[in-house]
Amino acid sequence: ELWASFRGRRMGGRELPLPPGYRGVLLRGGEPGEPPLGGPEDPQAGWVTVTGSFGAITDWGADAAPLPGRGLARALQWGPLAQAV
């Protein structure tokens, strides 16, 4: 369990690994008016760039850590199930 505070409220967290075969990515979009990285001939190239990745996500709850198998932990189970179907 992890503990932190946000705006003076106590929060409990639990780190959840992403399902096998999944990874999270951090994206950065171009600034408004900034030309795309691909140049004017390719207007969509470079508008979004991957700046990092992660293999786990933290589920936070107010005043207590979220229960295992509930909320976000349950939602993360749907990816492999949907892929199997």
pTM for the full predicted model: 0.63
Q: Does 16 fall in a domain?
A: yes
Is there a domain that residue 58 lies in? yes
**What confidence tens digit (pLDDT) does each residue in 2-38 have?**
899 889 999 999 999 998 888 999 988 776 666 655 5
- Is 71 domain-assigned? yes
Say which DSSP state 65 is in: P
Residue-range definition of the domain harbouring residue 73: 2-28+49-83
In a domain, residue 41? The reply is no
Taking alpha carbons only, the member of 57, 51, 52, 53 closest to residue 18 is 57
Which of 12, 16, 83, 81 has the alpha carbon at shortest distance from 55? Answer: 16
For residue range 34-52, list pLDDT tens digits in order. 665 555 566 555 577 889 9
Name the domain count of the chain: 1
Please report whether residue 42 resides in a domain. Answer: no
Q: Could you tell me which residues come within 8 angstroms of residue 80 by beta carbon, excluding any fewer than 6 positions away? A: 19, 20, 21
Q: Is residue 53 part of a domain?
A: yes
